[in-house]
A = this chain, B = another copy of it.
Amino acid sequence: MYDVVTFGEAMVRLSPPHFQRLEQTQSLDVHAGGAELNVATGVTRFGLKSAWVSKLPRNGLGYLVRDRAQQFGVDCSHIVWSNKGRAGLYFVEFGASPRASSVLYDRSHSAISMIQPGEVEWAKILTGSKHFHMSGITPALSASASETTVEALKAAKKAGCTVSYDLNYRKKLWSPAEAKKIQEPMMTDVDILITTEEDTNVVFGIKENDYEAVAERLARTFKFKIVVITLRDDLSVLKNNWTAIAYQDGKIIRDRKYEVEIVDRVGAGDSFTSGFLYAWVKEKDVQKGVQYGNAFAALKHTIPGDFNWSTLEEVEAQLKGAGSRISR
């Protein structure tokens, strides 16, 4: 059915224009975003067919999130609509050195935090689909969301999907101990783990001399087929370097580093995942996945909003060494 199915929360994202603080602003830019939806929109830019599963309130804010997802061609017909619970919101303040950008979450009591096992017809959605993706945010939302996560991962494996999981630790949602206790058992259903050195340390207590060793140890510990470590170097608030490496079958796969001038860095990691999954789903090519993921992630930094409006052609132009000249 689908090339990629994702499951998780998406929120209405509100951000003051032009570096203003929340306190001072008289208007807010409106986007939608959430790790798994970001990935669902991302893979459509490469021509994949995707579905996003979630639970949303039956009101203008819930519809807004759905519409923004549909705009990319993501299939939203499996969303569970609810008369209870809110649409999660999050507020982004964009900074410049020495003020880092910051996020204020207002996501408690969301409709999706009330999701229950059995509400989603996983078998129907996943049968015939190729890949299932989630992040560590969903099980952190509530106990029932955590149970539904387990349900979904099991269903994906049963349906023969490959499964990727972005560890994505959110300290405001749960403690490292909770994150470890709940996620460790889930890892048996995961083929591809995507994470950072820091999250690996916080959640699994795994620390090594370098990130390549971290990837290797993760793979060995949890029997992952592939481990991806994304690497961001914060030169300043408005200038970063970006790359990622992957570990597969005892080998480290590396790619070039991108210097990025930051317009909006939110969702860059999800863009990486999107590009990676494109190559994975199409060709099971991890080297290409890392390259497409990095290029797509680098481009994301230059586009407002969580979603990535770059095209496959633009990603491939990056791989061929697109320059900084204006393109006419």
Shortest beta-carbon distance from A34 to chain B in Å: 13
Shortest beta-carbon distance from A255 to chain B in Å: 13
Contacting residues, chain B, for A106 (C-beta < 8 A): 61, 86-87, 89
Cβ of A83 under 8 Å from chain B? no
Shortest beta-carbon distance from A92 to chain B in Å: 8
Cβ of A67 and Cβ of B304 under 8 Å apart? no
Q: A170-B328, A232-B325 are in contact. List 15 more A-B contacts (CB 8 A).
A: A14-B28, A23-B64, A23-B67, A26-B29, A70-B71, A71-B71, A97-B324, A98-B258, A98-B302, A99-B299, A99-B314, A100-B324, A100-B325, A234-B323, A265-B326
Most B CB contacts (10 A, CB to CB) among A21, A29, A70 go to A21
Contacting residues, chain B, for A29 (C-beta < 8 A): 26-27
> This chain: how many copies in the complex?
6
Q: Which residues of chain A from 290 to 328 have a CB within 8 Å of any chain B CB? A: 295, 298-299, 301-305, 307, 309-310, 314, 318, 322-328
Cβ of A123 under 8 Å from chain B? no
Cβ of B265 and Cβ of A237 under 8 Å apart? no
Alpha-carbon distance between A89 and B235 when the two chains are bound, in angstroms: 37
Cβ of A19 and Cβ of B325 under 8 Å apart? no
Output the nearest chain B residue to A87 by Cβ-Cβ distance: B106
